[in-house]
Amino acid sequence: MSRVAVVTSTAPFAQGGHLVIAHCVVQALREAGHRAELLLTPQNRFGRQVSAYLATWLTDVGLGQDGEPIDQVISFRYPSYAVRHPVHVCWLNHRMREYYDLWTRFSATLSLIDGAKERIRRAFLHAVDRYLLTHNVTRVYAQSRTIQARLRRWGGVGADVLYPPPPQRPYRCDGHGDFIFAVSRLTPLKRMDLLIRALAQPEAQAVRCVIAGDGPEAPALAALVSELRLEGRVRLIGSASPGVLVDQFARCRAVCFPPRDEDYGFVTVEAFASRKPVVTCTDSGGPVELVEDGVNGLVCPPEPRVLAAALRWLMEDQGLAERMGEAGHARVSAMSWRAAVEKLVLV
């Protein structure tokens, strides 16, 4: 039996898939007979990232409070992989995306002076991340090919891909109902506005949708629903408990998940675990690695009318949705937390 510290970073009052993954790993380790605990390290805001890396670097993960040695560390996102341990596996969610794949988008919002400061910080953290992921860890896994490609492009860091299975929740299928379900943190990159605009197209005039999630885009999305006069067909239900999410997945016809260049996205495997097809976009990143167009879902360009036609197709053909949902379930059934832990544990 090994003693494993599962380490991830988080901002105060923040939730997200990275924390769900960390908790699932802890549970799977315990079920496999290991002793495991979750350790959270800081993820500071812009201008204070270096202090977060330093605090994580100085965090003692060598011994537990009982004085017994910790045998291994499993870390995830920045800067949690800065913890030091001789047996350290990083199962990477992502580095600080504003300094990597989102740099062009991020830097365009900065003033001349702020831009100069951020370029210096970016260069420094690129060097730090590369050192940590090539010298401070024993092995690196990427949670998707999208993340793997980013590692290779920025830093030349090699990594094998290991997809996270669905969270350990009682997913089920209660049939294929009369609505589309979408769930996400409501930020611009998740593109719930694209889904709402698709529902306003003539091709989707009879499609109903439930959108779960909270975030900074919530007021703007509510205003868009009102502007497009979709109140009768689109419900924004806000933040939802795991039980409510499982229920919505169980009852919907299909799931729409159209983010831009997503790292991985639990939504896809949650839908498949509920025997529901997924509609996503060609530039959605991680989801496209799992959704096979015409097999277990539909992959379309990120255009409202095309997305609308895809949603209508599934709403008009329940048999198609059922067949695709079964194919998705078969895809995700091959993934397990036990198998993931067997790869992550080296001791």
Q: What percent of the chain has pLDDT over 70?
A: 97
CA distance 279 to 265: 13
- Could you report the per-residue pLDDT of 110-159, keeping only the tens digit for each? 999 999 999 999 999 999 999 999 999 999 999 999 999 999 999 999 99
CA distance 190 to 217: 10
CA 207 to chain centre: 26
CA distance 284 to 302: 9
- 9, 52 Cβ separation under 8 angstroms: yes
- Could you report the per-residue pLDDT of 214-271, keeping only the tens digit for each? 999 999 999 999 999 999 999 999 999 999 999 999 999 999 999 999 999 899 999 9
- 116, 101 Cβ separation under 8 angstroms: no
Instruction: Tell me the CA distances in angstroms from 295 to 121, 290, 342, one per residue in order.
Output: 44, 10, 30
Q: How confident is the model at residue 48 (pLDDT cuts 50, 70, 90)?
A: confident
Classify domain 180-333 at the CATH class level. alpha beta
- Could you report the per-residue pLDDT of 166-199, keeping only the tens digit for each? 999 999 999 999 999 999 999 999 999 999 999 9
- 186, 213 Cβ separation under 8 angstroms: yes
- Could you report the per-residue pLDDT of 73-107, keeping only the tens digit for each? 999 999 999 999 999 999 999 999 999 999 999 99
Q: What is the pLDDT of residue 50?
A: 85
Q: What percent of the chain has pLDDT over 90?
A: 86
Query: Where are the domains positioned within the chain?
Result: 3-162, 180-333
Classify domain 3-162 at the CATH class level. alpha beta
Does the fold of domain 180-333 match that of domain 3-162? yes
- Could you report the per-residue pLDDT of 226-239, keeping only the tens digit for each? 999 999 999 999 99
Give the predicted TM-score (pTM) of the model: 0.92
- 199, 230 Cβ separation under 8 angstroms: yes
The residue length of the chain stands at 347
